[in-house]
Amino acid sequence: MLNIDNIVKSFGNNHDTSTRVLDGVNLTVGTGEFLTILGPSGCGKSTLLSLIAGFLGPESGEITVDGTRVNGPAEGRAVVFQQASLMPWRTVEKNVAYGLTLQRVLGRNDIPARVKAAIATVGLQGYEHHYPHQISGGMQQRVNLARALATQPDLLLMDEPFGALDALTKEVLQDELLEIVQKRTSTTIFITHDIEEAVFLGDRVVVMSARPGRIAHIQELPFERPRDRTLMKSAEFTSIVSELREMLRHEPTSAGSREGVDVL
């Protein structure tokens, strides 16, 4: 479904001052797969996600989705960021509808039903007419997810979507995301710094090296779906988490970015 072929990406205007963030990244993701990505800060995880989304272009290499080269944002790909970035002057309902109105694929009369279904999927019935400041941070992130799901993407890209939430809210949204994924055929790529989250959610875990980011390891996960919290108490789960933690411990945090260069 997704093929990443020898991607190289640098930030900066010339060879002497530019910083190489990704160097020769190769990865294939199957249809319907839930892939989680771990790596030290600054290794290029978010940059890779932005390249897949089409927000950035690679220095060299190629990314294809269903055989079509990624040359920019396109229908069928939706992104959920760590910050909900909701428009404060729009209600929950209007925020969820925003992506659909931009796409102009559905007729105006068909949008409300799609929005209603997406809001129900994330459990926000009854909050359709609330504004962002009237709901909690966890609920705002549900709106963010509903906005992405409303477009019925083939590829759902998630950049630390639960990273800013408290532990309990994070667990609730992880469980809800698992239920959503179980009902859909979307391919999901999920970036996180949380090793347990990566193992609990993913079919595979990709571990990236320190900058310049490369694929250091791919961990196949043997756990069947559906999943619940009891999985996290199993010896196999604990063992895999420990192995990944030890692996990341030996990957130094990317450092030394030059002033004025934004390294993701």
Range from 10-19, 35-44, 93-102, 170-179 carrying the lowest mean pLDDT: 10-19
The whole-model pTM stands at 0.89
Cis amide prior to 73 (ω within 30 degrees): no
Per-residue model confidence as pLDDT tens digits over 205-220: 999 999 899 999 999 9
Question: For residue 2, what is the enclosing H or E element?
Answer: strand 2-11
**Pick from 60, 56, 61, 31: which is nearest to 46 by CA?**
56
Q: List residues bridging with 156 in a β-sheet.
A: 78, 188
Write the Ramachandran bin of 22: left for phi over 0, alpha for psi from -120 to 50, otherwise beta. beta
**What distance in Å separates the CA atoms of residue 177 and residue 138, rounded to the nearest whole number?**
13
Task: Give the side-chain half-sphere CA count within 13 A for 257.
Answer: 20
CATH classification for the domain delimited by 2-76+153-249, as one of 3.30.70.980, 2.60.40.10, 3.40.50.300, 3.30.2040.10:
3.40.50.300
Q: What is the rounded average pLDDT of the residues 228-255?
A: 87
Q: What is the pLDDT of residue 131?
A: 96
Per-residue model confidence as pLDDT tens digits over 143-180: 999 999 888 889 999 999 998 888 998 999 999 999 88
Termini Cα distance of the chain = 25
